[in-house]
Amino acid sequence: MFSRNRMTTTALGALALCATLSLTPAVAQDSTDPIKLTLHDWTGQLITTQIMGEVLKKAGNNVEYVQADYLAQFAGLESGDLHVAMEMWETTGRDAMDAATATGKVENFGATGMKAKEEWWYPEYMKEKCPGLPNWEALKDEKCAEAFSTAETAPKGRYLGGPVTWGGFDDERVEALDLPFEVIHAGTDAALFAELESAYQRQAPILLWIYAPHWSTAKYKGEWVEFPEYTKECYTDPAWGSNPDMAYDCGKPFGEIWKVGWVGVKDKWPDAYNAIKAFTIDNDEMGQMITKVDLDGKKIEDVVAEWMGANEPRWSQWIKK
């Protein structure tokens, strides 16, 4: 009798445990499918993305890096074919990001901690030839424009823009502000700064797209052109600004560098999602790492590994459960 009662009690206990377990919600686990992080065509973004990728690998995630166009990538992020873009700059990517998030298929994962500035920039030695700078109206003067000209653009000045994939509306800005300049787009990030290096060494005229965080603003003495301050209406309402018939008659916006991605990341990879949202880095850190790659000749992988080793207590918190 004792034995039978004991067995009955045990069986009832087991049933109660099973009932309890069935009522306990299952803890979501990250999928073993690869998280696809997009790579673009400038050093800082490659560093940011690989830091994030290495941190996710430490958490046990499967990571895949995919080369993608900066603006066109949103088609892949909306469909879920791509998953995370670690740098979307307020200065050039806000419109594309807002359009994508408005679909409900892309999510803003928050700020990276870096602050973006991208604008026309000139070496300090050019102020003697165009003394009205940094005021943008100095560029309207034909003598100033000629000072920035080259054989291919004379008598118009030459403005060296970033690769066309970066956006930025420089061609539209020149037309809207009636500047006697021709926009020439650099083929790559490396070509852009190689030309700056060459011109600076020769004290040759150059006006070009410079962005921060980057090493160039520390290495070279110069200034950004001061255009009419950006407002959203400048880009959307032709009636705004000095040209009543055209938009983009102002400078570029300044602001955050954002992390964005496919809205399904939080459900498919919940732990990775939390880590991506927690990721943060500042301009000084990034500028130092870009310098190590672009000026000191170190490999991106080595610079990332060095950062990972020096910051383990920090990134460990990003993946802490």
223 and 187, same domain (yes or no): yes
Please identify, among 236, 264, 280, the residue that sits at the C-terminal boundary of a domain: 236
Q: Please check whether residue 18 lies inside any domain of the structure.
A: no
By percentage, how much of the chain surpasses pLDDT 70?
Answer: 91
Instruction: Please calculate the CA angle 286-265-320 and round it to the nearest 5 degrees.
Output: 65
What residues make up the domain containing 277?
Answer: 35-115+255-318
- CA proximity to 161, closest of 118, 126, 129, 128: 118
Contact in structure between 104 and 77 (CB atoms under 8 Å)? no
Extract the tokens encoding 138. 């100095």
Q: Quick check: is 294 in a domain?
A: yes
Residues 179 and 169 in one domain: yes
Same domain, 136 and 60: no
**Structural domain contains residue 165:** yes
Q: Is residue 145 part of a domain?
A: yes
d(CA 213, CA 161): 17
List 262's β-bridge partners, or say none. Answer: 106
Based on the fold, state whether residues 95 and 63 are members of the same structural domain. yes
Give alpha helix (H) positions in the chain: 2-23, 43-58, 73-79, 90-102, 142-147, 170-176, 189-202, 216-219, 232-236, 265-268, 270-278, 283-294, 300-310, 312-318
> Do residues 144 and 232 share a domain?
yes
- Maximum Cα–Cα distance across the chain: 111
CB 126 within 8 A of CB 148: yes
Residue 161 lies in a domain: yes
143 and 212 fall within a common domain: yes
Least Cα distance to 279 among 40, 116, 111 occurs for: 111
Which pair of structure tokens corresponds to residue 45? 């973004």
Q: How many domains does the chain have?
A: 2
pLDDT digits (tens, 9 = 90+) for 274-301: 999 999 999 999 999 999 999 999 999 9
Residue pair 214/48 in contact (Cβ under 8 Å)? The answer is: no
**Judgement on whether residues 230 and 140 belong to the same structural domain of the protein:** yes
Report which DSSP code applies to 135. B
What's the pLDDT band for 27 if we cut at 50, 70, 90?
Answer: low
> What amino acid occupies position 5?
N
Return the pLDDT at 11: 40
- pLDDT range class, residue 21, cuts 50, 70, 90: very low
Per-residue pLDDT of 156-215, as tens digits, reads 999 999 999 898 999 999 999 999 999 999 999 999 999 999 999 999 999 999 999 999
User: Is 246 a member of any domain?
Assistant: no
pLDDT at 18 over 70: no
Query: Does residue 138 register a pLDDT over 70?
Result: yes
Do residue 121 and residue 218 come from a single domain?
A: yes
End-to-end Cα separation, the chain, in angstroms: 49
Q: Please check whether residue 238 is in contact with residue 246, taking contact to mean a CB–CB distance below 8 angstroms.
A: yes
39 within some domain: yes
Instruction: Tell me, yes or no, whether 2 lies in a domain.
Output: no
DSSP-based three-state secondary structure for 184: strand
Average pLDDT score over the chain: 91
- pLDDT in the model for residue 19: 40
Residue 204 sits in a domain whose CATH number is: 3.40.190.100
Asked whether residue 163 falls in the same domain as residue 195, the answer is yes
